[in-house]
Amino acid sequence: MSKNAPGVRYAELDRETTETHIQVVLDLDGGTRRDILTGIGFFDHMLELFAFHGQVDVGIGAEGDLEVDDHHTVEDTGIVLGKAIREALAAGEGIVRYGSATVPMDEALVLVALDISGRGQLHWDVEFKRERLGDLATENIREFFRALCAHSGITLHIRKITGQNDHHVCEAIFKGFGRALFEATRVTERRGTVSTKGKMD
Protein backbone atom coordinates (compact mmCIF):
# COMPACT_ATOMS: atom_id res chain seq x y z
CA MET A 1 0.00 0.00 0.00
CA SER A 2 1.31 3.43 -0.89
CA LYS A 3 2.06 5.84 1.93
CA ASN A 4 1.39 8.81 -0.33
CA ALA A 5 -0.81 11.70 0.70
CA PRO A 6 -4.23 11.79 -1.02
CA GLY A 7 -3.92 12.86 -4.64
CA VAL A 8 -0.17 12.25 -4.82
CA ARG A 9 0.62 9.44 -7.26
CA TYR A 10 4.30 8.98 -6.62
CA ALA A 11 6.61 6.10 -5.74
CA GLU A 12 10.28 5.72 -4.95
CA LEU A 13 11.80 2.23 -4.75
CA ASP A 14 15.22 0.69 -4.35
CA ARG A 15 15.92 -3.02 -4.95
CA GLU A 16 19.32 -4.66 -4.63
CA THR A 17 20.25 -8.29 -5.27
CA THR A 18 23.51 -10.09 -5.98
CA GLU A 19 22.83 -9.50 -9.70
CA THR A 20 21.40 -5.98 -9.91
CA HIS A 21 20.73 -2.73 -8.09
CA ILE A 22 17.66 -0.93 -9.43
CA GLN A 23 16.33 2.46 -8.33
CA VAL A 24 13.06 3.89 -9.65
CA VAL A 25 11.32 7.20 -8.97
CA LEU A 26 7.92 7.59 -10.62
CA ASP A 27 5.38 10.42 -10.75
CA LEU A 28 2.28 9.49 -12.74
CA ASP A 29 1.25 13.14 -13.03
CA GLY A 30 4.51 14.57 -14.28
CA GLY A 31 5.51 14.36 -17.90
CA THR A 32 8.56 16.57 -18.27
CA ARG A 33 11.42 14.76 -16.51
CA ARG A 34 13.17 11.61 -17.65
CA ASP A 35 16.45 10.47 -16.14
CA ILE A 36 17.18 6.92 -17.28
CA LEU A 37 20.46 5.04 -17.19
CA THR A 38 20.48 1.24 -17.25
CA GLY A 39 23.76 0.62 -19.06
CA ILE A 40 21.80 -0.68 -22.06
CA GLY A 41 21.51 2.14 -24.56
CA PHE A 42 18.62 0.85 -26.66
CA PHE A 43 16.65 -0.08 -23.52
CA ASP A 44 17.15 3.46 -22.17
CA HIS A 45 15.77 4.82 -25.44
CA MET A 46 12.67 2.62 -25.21
CA LEU A 47 12.03 3.59 -21.57
CA GLU A 48 12.32 7.24 -22.54
CA LEU A 49 9.68 6.70 -25.23
CA PHE A 50 7.41 5.04 -22.67
CA ALA A 51 7.82 7.96 -20.26
CA PHE A 52 7.26 10.61 -22.93
CA HIS A 53 4.13 9.02 -24.35
CA GLY A 54 2.89 8.02 -20.89
CA GLN A 55 3.38 11.61 -19.70
CA VAL A 56 5.12 10.49 -16.51
CA ASP A 57 8.17 11.76 -14.68
CA VAL A 58 10.56 8.88 -14.18
CA GLY A 59 14.03 8.27 -12.88
CA ILE A 60 15.53 4.83 -13.45
CA GLY A 61 19.02 3.84 -12.43
CA ALA A 62 20.24 0.29 -12.94
CA GLU A 63 23.52 -1.41 -12.21
CA GLY A 64 23.55 -5.01 -13.34
CA ASP A 65 25.79 -7.89 -14.29
CA LEU A 66 26.03 -6.83 -17.92
CA GLU A 67 29.27 -8.76 -18.21
CA VAL A 68 27.02 -11.85 -18.08
CA ASP A 69 24.24 -10.50 -20.32
CA ASP A 70 21.37 -8.03 -20.22
CA HIS A 71 18.68 -10.40 -18.91
CA HIS A 72 18.89 -9.66 -15.19
CA THR A 73 19.06 -5.90 -15.67
CA VAL A 74 16.08 -5.79 -18.02
CA GLU A 75 13.92 -8.17 -15.99
CA ASP A 76 14.70 -6.52 -12.66
CA THR A 77 13.97 -3.08 -14.10
CA GLY A 78 10.55 -4.45 -15.04
CA ILE A 79 10.05 -5.76 -11.51
CA VAL A 80 10.85 -2.45 -9.83
CA LEU A 81 8.99 -0.29 -12.35
CA GLY A 82 5.97 -2.56 -11.96
CA LYS A 83 6.09 -2.20 -8.17
CA ALA A 84 6.42 1.57 -8.54
CA ILE A 85 3.32 1.75 -10.75
CA ARG A 86 1.37 -0.31 -8.24
CA GLU A 87 2.50 1.82 -5.30
CA ALA A 88 1.83 5.08 -7.11
CA LEU A 89 -1.71 3.92 -7.85
CA ALA A 90 -2.27 2.63 -4.31
CA ALA A 91 -5.38 0.38 -4.45
CA GLY A 92 -6.40 1.61 -7.91
CA GLU A 93 -9.41 3.57 -6.66
CA GLY A 94 -10.84 6.31 -8.84
CA ILE A 95 -9.05 5.60 -12.12
CA VAL A 96 -10.41 4.76 -15.56
CA ARG A 97 -8.67 1.34 -15.26
CA TYR A 98 -8.68 0.39 -18.97
CA GLY A 99 -6.49 1.80 -21.70
CA SER A 100 -5.46 0.93 -25.23
CA ALA A 101 -3.46 2.31 -28.11
CA THR A 102 -2.87 1.23 -31.67
CA VAL A 103 0.42 2.79 -32.67
CA PRO A 104 1.95 3.05 -36.14
CA MET A 105 5.69 3.49 -36.59
CA ASP A 106 6.33 3.72 -40.31
CA GLU A 107 5.43 0.26 -41.68
CA ALA A 108 4.91 -1.24 -38.20
CA LEU A 109 1.56 -1.30 -36.40
CA VAL A 110 1.17 -2.54 -32.82
CA LEU A 111 -1.86 -2.92 -30.55
CA VAL A 112 -1.42 -2.45 -26.80
CA ALA A 113 -4.36 -2.89 -24.42
CA LEU A 114 -4.32 -3.08 -20.65
CA ASP A 115 -6.47 -3.47 -17.58
CA ILE A 116 -5.21 -2.37 -14.16
CA SER A 117 -7.02 -5.33 -12.65
CA GLY A 118 -4.76 -6.40 -9.81
CA ARG A 119 -4.21 -9.69 -11.65
CA GLY A 120 -0.90 -9.24 -13.39
CA GLN A 121 -0.50 -11.18 -16.61
CA LEU A 122 1.05 -10.66 -20.02
CA HIS A 123 -0.42 -11.86 -23.31
CA TRP A 124 2.29 -11.44 -25.93
CA ASP A 125 1.92 -11.89 -29.68
CA VAL A 126 5.12 -10.42 -31.13
CA GLU A 127 7.88 -12.11 -33.08
CA PHE A 128 11.19 -10.41 -33.77
CA LYS A 129 13.47 -11.33 -36.64
CA ARG A 130 16.65 -10.04 -35.02
CA GLU A 131 18.29 -11.42 -31.88
CA ARG A 132 19.41 -7.98 -30.72
CA LEU A 133 18.47 -4.34 -31.09
CA GLY A 134 21.62 -2.46 -30.22
CA ASP A 135 22.76 -3.99 -26.95
CA LEU A 136 19.30 -5.27 -25.98
CA ALA A 137 18.36 -8.92 -26.64
CA THR A 138 14.93 -8.93 -28.25
CA GLU A 139 13.85 -11.94 -26.16
CA ASN A 140 14.25 -9.77 -23.06
CA ILE A 141 11.64 -7.26 -24.22
CA ARG A 142 8.99 -9.82 -23.40
CA GLU A 143 10.72 -10.55 -20.08
CA PHE A 144 10.59 -6.87 -19.16
CA PHE A 145 6.85 -6.66 -19.72
CA ARG A 146 6.21 -10.02 -18.05
CA ALA A 147 8.01 -8.85 -14.91
CA LEU A 148 6.29 -5.47 -14.99
CA CYS A 149 2.84 -7.06 -15.26
CA ALA A 150 3.50 -9.54 -12.47
CA HIS A 151 4.49 -6.79 -10.04
CA SER A 152 2.12 -4.02 -11.11
CA GLY A 153 -1.05 -6.11 -11.23
CA ILE A 154 -1.65 -5.07 -14.84
CA THR A 155 -3.18 -7.39 -17.43
CA LEU A 156 -1.45 -6.45 -20.66
CA HIS A 157 -2.01 -7.51 -24.26
CA ILE A 158 0.63 -6.65 -26.85
CA ARG A 159 0.13 -7.72 -30.46
CA LYS A 160 2.11 -6.91 -33.57
CA ILE A 161 -0.38 -6.36 -36.36
CA THR A 162 2.25 -5.78 -39.01
CA GLY A 163 5.86 -4.70 -39.32
CA GLN A 164 9.13 -5.64 -40.98
CA ASN A 165 11.61 -3.49 -39.08
CA ASP A 166 12.15 -4.75 -35.52
CA HIS A 167 13.33 -1.32 -34.34
CA HIS A 168 10.05 0.20 -35.49
CA VAL A 169 8.03 -2.61 -33.90
CA CYS A 170 9.79 -2.15 -30.57
CA GLU A 171 9.29 1.61 -30.62
CA ALA A 172 5.58 1.14 -31.28
CA ILE A 173 5.33 -1.28 -28.34
CA PHE A 174 6.85 1.11 -25.79
CA LYS A 175 4.99 4.14 -27.14
CA GLY A 176 1.76 2.16 -27.08
CA PHE A 177 2.32 0.99 -23.52
CA GLY A 178 2.93 4.56 -22.38
CA ARG A 179 -0.20 5.84 -24.09
CA ALA A 180 -2.37 3.00 -22.81
CA LEU A 181 -1.08 3.45 -19.26
CA PHE A 182 -1.74 7.19 -19.40
CA GLU A 183 -5.33 6.55 -20.50
CA ALA A 184 -5.95 3.89 -17.86
CA THR A 185 -4.54 5.92 -14.97
CA ARG A 186 -6.64 9.03 -15.54
CA VAL A 187 -8.66 9.97 -12.47
CA THR A 188 -12.40 9.46 -12.82
CA GLU A 189 -15.24 10.94 -10.81
CA ARG A 190 -17.21 7.70 -10.92
CA ARG A 191 -18.39 6.74 -7.46
CA GLY A 192 -17.17 3.58 -5.79
CA THR A 193 -14.54 1.18 -7.05
CA VAL A 194 -13.67 0.49 -10.67
CA SER A 195 -15.06 -3.05 -10.52
CA THR A 196 -18.62 -4.32 -10.10
CA LYS A 197 -17.19 -6.91 -7.69
CA GLY A 198 -16.23 -4.15 -5.29
CA LYS A 199 -12.52 -5.01 -5.34
CA MET A 200 -9.72 -5.21 -7.86
CA ASP A 201 -8.53 -8.81 -7.41
pTM: 0.91
pLDDT digits (tens, 9 = 90+) for 11-56: 999 999 999 999 999 999 988 899 999 999 999 999 999 999 999 9
- pLDDT at site 48: 98
Q: Where are the domains of the chain?
A: 10-184
What pLDDT is recorded for position 107?
Answer: 98
CA distance 158 to 149: 12
CATH entry 3.30.470.20 includes domain 10-184: no
Taking only the tens place, the pLDDT of each residue in 128-176 is 999 999 999 999 999 999 999 999 999 999 999 999 999 999 999 999 9
Q: 90-115 pLDDT, tens per residue?
A: 855 689 999 999 999 999 999 999 99
Q: Provide the pLDDT for residue 90.
A: 81
CA 53/CA 60 separation, integer angstroms:
16
Instruction: For residue 177, give every residue at least 6 positions away whose Cβ sits within 8 Å of its Cβ, in sequence order, or none.
Output: 50, 54, 101, 112, 114, 145, 156, 158
